Structure 1
């Protein structure tokens, strides 16, 4: 990845894209007050430099609930017995490869990891806990907090 300096235009483009990445290049260019070719070049440059990791669709859990069920979301704190770099890296690699783990943070002080996980139901969470936590001899403590309501979910990075 190339290293580039970000200017005010780059930040405007990044902000607009993280609000709505589905807009056309023409819409994005008009919002940023630049020509479509300039806009396209800038966005490609930002993508190549790694500022834009990927574009995804954010799904509505409430709209999917009648079809899939409400599911469970949990915030899980994990403490390990051994905190050496190798043990931390091994645990992290194992949990991030699991589709049920939506977010993984290595934190300090307190627990070693905080995970945001999703499961279809309580038996699904139990299977996840067995797979990721109980089967790992290095996991000392697991503390799960189950979400009753999602008040806010905003993956946007503050750029101002």
Structure 2
């Protein structure tokens, strides 16, 4: 699906504030409310708008520790990678999972309450998993930037 200028303006505004009313969104993107609503529905139906969520401040809801974790598996056959991804997908604290190359097999972004919670998660997901060869964890001491916007071209 190709995006025209109006689609791009809508996507830009929704990435800034998805809670806008259709009327306010239409005004900001210089379109009629009916046109704007049709376009948003089309963008959702096509999958370009994947989800509409609230982004929370982790430290204000008891999830103040961010870990960036590199995982290397012993066996990298496709079925082993997929099985490990499925295990990670079930864990809500694993917020992002990237299969990467070269280097480790996965890089994870994990959000938990504290070091004890991280230790429990690491034991449950990594230490008891026979195919995990190496785990390298980094803990955020400060987050200077966090964005969810994607450049629409």
TM-score of the superposed pair, with normalisation by structure 1? 0.92
Aligned-residue offset at 1:71: 2.7
1:92-146 deviations in Å (ceiling 9; x for gaps): 1101210110110000000000000011111111110011101111000000000
Where does structure 2 lack aligned partners over 5 or more consecutive residues?
none
**Where has structure 1 moved over 3 Å in runs of 4 or more?**
none
Q: Distance in 2 between matches of 1:33 and 1:122?
A: 49
Residues 1:13 and 2:10 aligned together: yes
Higher relative contact order (CA 8 A, sep 6+): 2
Q: Aligned to 1:145, which of 131, 138, 148?
A: 138
Aligned-residue offset at 1:61: 3.2
Match of 1:47 in 2: 44
Residues 1:119 and 2:112 aligned together: yes
Aligned-residue offset at 1:60: 2.0
RMSD value over aligned CA atoms?
Answer: 1.2
TM-score of the superposed pair, with normalisation by structure 2? 0.96
Residues 1:85 and 2:78 aligned together: yes
Where does structure 1 lack aligned partners over 5 or more consecutive residues?
none
Q: Aligned to 1:57, which of 54, 58, 78?
A: 54
